[in-house]
Copies of this chain bind each other. A is one copy, B any other.
Amino acid sequence: MATTTEESETYEQFLEHVRQLHYVGDAGSVLQWDQQVMMPSGGTPARAKQSSALSTLHHDLLTDDQLGEWLDELDDADLDDEQEAVVREVRRDHERAVRVPSDLVERISEASSNALPVWEEAKAEDDFELFADTLEEMVELRREYAAAIDPDRDPYEVLFEEYEPYLGIDTAERVLTRLREELVPLIDDIDDSDVTLADPFEVSASDASGGSEDRRSSGGTYDDDTQHELVEAALDTLGYDWDHGRLDTAPHPFSTGTQFDARVTTRFKPDDPMDAVGSTIHEFGHATYTLGLPQEQYGTPLGDNRDLSVHESQSRFWENHVGRSRPFWDLFTKTANDHLGTDATPGEFYEAANTVHSDNLIRVEADELTYHMHIVLRFEIERDLIRGDLAVEDVPQVWNEKMEEYLGVRPDTDAEGCLQDIHWTNGAIGYFPTYTLGSVLAAQLDHHLRADVGDVDGLVRDGEFDPIHDWLTENVHRHGARYETDDLVRAATGESFTADYFLDYVDEKYRDLYDC
């Protein structure tokens, strides 16, 4: 065993290397943000080269032999808890990266690039046959990838751990199965309900004596500037820190950045400003997590987020437990009416934000409740594809059968069915479950936040968001990736990850709304 001074020197060299690795990764994220938000279309060929060069350098730094040697030396060193956590996280990434041959990394990257136009054409032509070989190739490549990392384990488990390393595929499977079992009957009851929730935009259009001036065009749509001002007002209301962020538009909204600069993007549907509000608050939630990471740990796992389930818990907390809550609309209705020229009540906005559309076919347009059936379906299909229990050619049929079983609706086309998402085209197999796990965790955190802080509804109604931000920062953000996921949940809530709170929350909320 090395002396303390030697250990300490090794650790410092190791940590400096880790920081460089993170800085290069974050530089790549800036290039991606620019590409999606600012870059003129003609810039693509050069940007592809630049991004690829940074990816290569990042991979070289991560698989560096010297890094492996430092990790070996630190194996027996006398490290404190924080140092142990840093070594654990870096070792995991290093070991996964060195096990995957670089030619396989390149083949996957190339296959993704080639798959994109094929998927786009298949979707435009509504012809799954055009995409089948491409999907088959991606499934094979991902199986090869999983086998390279660990040939002795379930390949889907290995892929899932790319996005959520510590919660365990068993937990994911158990939670998703339970949601399927409990939500399908709830959705059935809602479908059978006679209640029709309010649509404030209908109200305003038909109510000629409405107090405010309707801001819609003659075609009944809202322009981008009006919607931009509305969602900017929502971010102001929630306390977004503009000295450390920006709001822009992008075709597919996302959030990216560091604890110094966490940016949000949104998009506007002309006839549905509620969509932009919800989507913006979702991305704001991601940004709050990033901004809550400790600045002094920037570039290390202690200053980096835990994985996708936790990140999604923050976006879903703000989107659903705040942005879709009645107290939020008590607070925000006047602002919304002012910007939209509507004359709606808080109750009407609240109902509009929570209307269940079980006949909706498209995941990204789904409501808070039926969303998870879209995820369960994708999870079951991609798991079976990777495990070899489902053939690619059978995907459209299985998709449509599951849609009918879970939501009572069957897509007429593959474009509105199994071709709707980009994830598999990108090779992101194992990613979908983290969306639902994030929602489940959001409800668990929400429960304990209320237990600890007290009258959260009152705080939201008064626009006092600091105690909420503070609780989430104290219990989640500031830890970075110090804890494994379940340990983080335990540190924040005193108990293991559980779907109990989520199921109680949706049951109570939606049975109340739909009187069923």
Q: Which of B27, B52, B57, B261 contacts A40 (CB 8 A)?
A: B261
Is residue A266 contacting chain B, with contact meaning CB distance below 8 A?
Answer: no
Q: Does A451 contact B (CB under 8 A)?
A: no
* Contact residue among B44, B57, B244, B298 (Cβ-Cβ distance under 8 Å from A24): B57
CA distance A39 to B38 in the complex (A): 12
CB neighbours (8 Å) of A241 from chain B are 42
Per-residue CB contact flags for chain A residues 208-241 toward chain B (1 = under 8 Å, else 0) read 0000000000000000000000000000000001
Question: What chain B residues lie within 8 Å of A45 (beta carbons)?
Answer: 260, 295, 298
What is the 8 Å Cβ interface bit string for chain A, positions 17-43, against chain B (1 contact, 0 not)? Answer: 001100110111011001000111111
Q: Does A88 contact B (CB under 8 A)?
A: no
With A and B bound together, what is the CA distance between A342 and B259 in angstroms?
Answer: 48
Instruction: Decide if B261 touches A298 in the complex (CB within 8 Å).
Output: no
Q: Given the interface contacts A40-B243, A245-B40, does A261 sit within 8 Å of B46 by beta carbon? A: yes
Name the interface size band of chain A: 35 or more
Q: Please measure, in the bound complex, the distance between the C-alpha atom of A46 and the C-alpha atom of B259, giving whole angstroms.
A: 8
A50 contacts partner chain B, Cβ-Cβ < 8 Å: yes
Min C-beta distance of A8 to chain B, whole Å: 22
Chain B neighbourhood of A244, CB < 8 A:
40, 42-43
* Residues on B with beta carbons closer than 8 Å to the beta carbon of A23: 49-50, 52-54
Q: How far is the CA of A344 from the CA of B237 in the complex (A)?
A: 48
Cβ–Cβ contact B243 & A46, under 8 A: no
CB contact under 8 A between A243 and B24, given known A34-B34, A261-B46: no
Label chain A's interface by main secondary structure.
Answer: helix
Chain A, residues 239-263, CB within 8 Å of chain B (1/0): the string is 0011111100000000001111100
B-contact bits for A54-79, CB 8 A (1 contact / 0 none): 10110000000000000000000000
Bound together, the chains give a CA A52 to CA B27 distance in angstroms of 10
Neighbour of A246 across the interface among B38, B44, B260, CB < 8 A:
B38
Let me know if B26 and A50 touch, CB within 8 A: yes
Structural contact, B246 and A46, CB atoms closer than 8 A? no
- Given the known interface contacts A34-B34, A38-B38, the answer about A27 and B43 at a Cβ–Cβ threshold of 8 Å is no
User: With the chains together, A34 CA to B261 CA distance in Å?
Assistant: 12
What is the oligomeric copy number?
Answer: 2
Q: How far is the CA of A23 from the CA of B298 in the complex (A)?
A: 25
Task: Chain B residues near A27: list those with CB within 8 A.
Answer: 27-28, 31, 50-51, 53-54
A301 at the binding interface (Cβ < 8 Å): no
Q: Residue A363 at the B interface, CB < 8 A?
A: no
Q: Does A299 contact B (CB under 8 A)?
A: yes
Does A448 lie at the interface of the complex (its beta carbon under 8 Å from any beta carbon of B)? Answer: no
A260 touches B44 (CB 8 A): yes
Tell me whether B24 and A53 are in contact (CB under 8 A): yes
Can you list, as one digit per residue, whether each of A318-346 has a CB less than 8 Å from chain B (1) or not (0)? 00000000000000000000000000000
Contact status of A46 and B258, CB under 8 A, knowing A23-B52, A30-B34, A31-B27: yes
Flag whether A47 is at the interface (Cβ < 8 A): yes
Contact B56 A20 (CB under 8 A): yes
Q: How far is the CA of A92 from the CA of B34 in the complex (A)?
A: 32
Given A23-B49, A30-B50, A34-B34, verify A243-B56 contact (CB < 8 Å).
Answer: no
Distance in Å: Cβ of A44 to nearest Cβ of chain B: 7
CA of A34 to CA of B19 in the docked complex: distance in angstroms? 21
Name the B residues within 8 Å of A19 (CB-CB): 49
Asked, given contacts A40-B242, A40-B246, A246-B38, whether A298 binds B49 with beta carbons under 8 Å apart, the answer is yes
Q: B residues within 8 A CB of A46?
A: 26, 258-261, 298
Bound complex: CA A46 to CA B244 (Å): 11
Q: From residue A441, how far is it (CB to closest CB) to chain B in Å? A: 27
- Closest Cβ of chain B to A45, distance in Å, is 5
Residues of B within 8 A of A31 (CB): 27, 30-31
CA distance A28 to B30 in the complex (A): 10
Cα–Cα distance between A295 and B31 once the two chains are bound (Å): 20
Nearest-Cβ distance from residue A22 to partner chain B, whole angstroms: 9
Cβ of A84 to closest chain B Cβ, rounded Å: 24
Give me 19 other A-B pairs in contact (C-beta within 8 A), A24-B57, A41-B243 excluded: A20-B53, A20-B56, A23-B53, A27-B50, A27-B51, A30-B31, A30-B50, A34-B34, A38-B38, A40-B243, A40-B246, A42-B241, A43-B244, A43-B260, A46-B260, A46-B298, A47-B260, A47-B261, A57-B57
A residues whose Cβ falls under 8 Å from a Cβ of B: 19-20, 23-24, 26-28, 30-31, 34, 38-47, 49-54, 56-57, 241-246, 257-261, 295, 298-299
| 11 A-B contacts (beta carbon < 8 Å) | A23-B49, A23-B50, A23-B53, A24-B53, A24-B54, A27-B27, A27-B28, A27-B50, A43-B258, A45-B298, A46-B260
